[in-house]
Chain A
């Protein structure tokens, strides 16, 4: 399990009161009966933890699977590193 994956599993579990063993890479937040307000809080916790901005209204982050979310966050982290390197 990558550290991004680990952190995101922790955030979902804590923010949404979902037991860790119920979270899988293939489940969506909706599958886990996560309330829309909790989903917004998950994105906030991710932004705060990784110091990134998660784009609005992109299904990859809000409506996709946990795998989509992790891949999206890894991509945002890579863009952040690249931006720093060119700055």
Chain B
């Protein structure tokens, strides 16, 4: 089977507008969560979010281009530019036809949809912007990346709520392994901090009002985030042939469904996905040194995820560093797994596992080494990155250090 490596990464998150700043923030345990800003609605109850505050669209796109771009596409494009620049790849000739673009998103162009509805139903203004459709469609981020770089291979979007990024990256891995493409730009993007989306999450009563404290006692729920992560994947042969600098090996993906409940997580579905990722990667349990947890900060997820990790890893579970960087960049839904892949690559390359911040103390139901509050230095040979979605969908990536 063809091996697949990562040669470029790009990111927009509450931690910064690049993978470089995002990783630097994760390493030092910086808070990306802050007061919710910019939404014009007095009935909102949610005081906080992890917004991409440093992102200024006009610094990246001219006015003519912006008319076509919902923030969900803006974030993805900025992340893709950083990833492609780092990889050093050009897309002349045949390579463009052998390059795939697969971008996950949970919602798509949420602000465009929100504004359209407000105009139509709220303001009684019957005129809808002619570019609304091309901004709102969930494949817009993938298509905009294809257009900007002239990429002509398989291009599509993947939607599986909070597992969208990992499903997209896993799909790209399999396309490269199967020989359908040699290069892929893959990841996820989300721009979900709109009045409509925040209110819908409020109604479910799962949002924290203080901050996000995964695995901690006193945790009160999740905090919405936004941003994008995009990665350049290529087959090992392709990367070696051009002398590319390799960041890490994307070694496997495991995908399962719980078929149990539309929202409540299920430990066996999560454990099966982790096991499948390891099997695909050819990794033994005791080769894994850290897990970037789904770790949303809800009561149900964190306890269930702990049970799943214990059930699978048994005696090795206590040797793992299991952290949730959502404590810093919030829950970016369909972009979550891609932003978290920045953390995993950083841990593999630098031997530093980023922390779970805002940790107040142990919850007996979450009794793993969750890297509380401060990063831990340790060699990381291999790592898992967990994403579990509403709908009972699980996607786990397995990565190996490139040394």
Contacts and interface: CB of A to CB of B under 8 A. Distances in A.
Contact of B204 (A35, A40, A53, A62): A40
Quick one: which of B205, B262, B263, B264 has the most chain A CB within 10 A?
Answer: B205
A40 B200 CA distance: 12
Interface in B179-219: 203-205, 209
A64 to B, nearest CB: 15
A37 B262 contact: yes
A40 B205 contact: yes
A56 interface: yes
Contacts of B400: none
B331 interface: no
Contacts of A53: 45
B263 A43 contact: no
A43 B262 contact: no
Interface in A8-52: 35-37, 40, 43-44
Nearest to A44: B203
B307 interface: no
B: interface residue count bin = 10 to 19
B275 interface: no
Contacts of B262: 37
A57 interface: yes
Contacts of A43: 205
B209 A56 contact: yes
B263 A56 contact: no
B220 interface: yes
Given A56-B209, A57-B220, A36 B203 contact: no
Contacts of B203: 40, 44
A86 B221 CA distance: 35
A21 to B, nearest CB: 27
Interface of B: 45, 203-205, 209, 220, 261-264, 300
Which 7 pairs of residues, A with B, have the shortest CB-CB distance?
Answer: A40-B205, A37-B263, A56-B205, A40-B204, A44-B203, A57-B220, A36-B264
